Amino acid sequence: MAAADDIALIIAQEQRLAFTQFDEATAFAIGTAIRDRALAENLSLVVDVRLWNRPLFYAAMPGTDGDNQHWVRRKANTVQRLLKSSYRVVLEQAREDRQFAPSRAMDTADYALAGGGFPIRMAGLGPIGCVTVSGLKERADHQVAVDGVMAALGLSDPDLILLPQ
């Protein structure tokens, strides 16, 4: 699948996966769905679910390390700043150096050009937080986050799945 097709699919994910209500229980449902999947599939990942003003869920699976928490923070910062999935940003930027353009003033100490951060959207409002996964390849990090959101929304839509490359 070409980058343009992936970007279009991610935009569809972002638009269709919106909550009409979101609270701590919803964040817990997303986080535990991802954690349960990690346990079942033996995935080494960290999952973080947060609103812009505070964290709501965090879990680190065996095989992760202290770097994952920094990747989560930087990916979440990217989602908050640009209000879109961090993997979409990667595809749109198409930069091999994995640096943001200097004109963006997005220092890599605070922002990551890496997939795995997905916005939590409220219908009629827009992004209010994000789900971030770190530990897998970035495309997989992205889809695991999306799958957690879909589970919390009670959706199962094969048209919203970004297939492995």
Looking at residue 1, its pLDDT comes to 56
Looking at residue 161, its pLDDT comes to 94
- Position 123 pLDDT exceeds 90: yes
**What's the pLDDT band for 102 if we cut at 50, 70, 90?**
confident
Interatomic CA distance for residues 160 and 151, integer angstroms? 12
Q: In what order do the strands lie in the sheet with 46-51?
A: 18-19, 117-122, 126-134, 46-51, 54-60
Q: List 50's β-bridge partners, or say none.
A: 55, 130
Q: In whole numbers, what is the pLDDT of the chain averaged over residues?
A: 96
Tens digits of residue pLDDT in 61-92: 999 999 999 999 999 999 999 999 999 999 99
Query: Looking at domain 3-155, which of 3.40.50.2300, 1.10.3720.10, 3.30.450.150, 3.40.50.261 is its CATH number?
Result: 3.30.450.150
Residues 39-43 have a mean pLDDT of: 98
Q: Which residue has the higher pLDDT, 84 or 102?
A: 84
Shortest CA distance to 31 belongs to which of 156, 147, 112?
A: 147
**What's the pLDDT band for 9 if we cut at 50, 70, 90?**
very high
Interatomic CA distance for residues 102 and 116, integer angstroms? 23
- Position 133 pLDDT exceeds 60: yes
Shortest CA distance to 27 belongs to which of 143, 151, 144?
A: 151
Looking at residue 107, its pLDDT comes to 92
- Position 165 pLDDT exceeds 70: yes
Boundaries of every domain in the chain: 3-155
pTM for the model: 0.96
Name residue 50's amino acid: R
Interatomic CA distance for residues 27 and 11, integer angstroms? 22
E strands, the chain, where?
Answer: 18-19, 46-51, 54-60, 117-122, 126-134
User: How many Cβ atoms from other residues are within 10 Å of residue 139's Cβ?
Assistant: 18
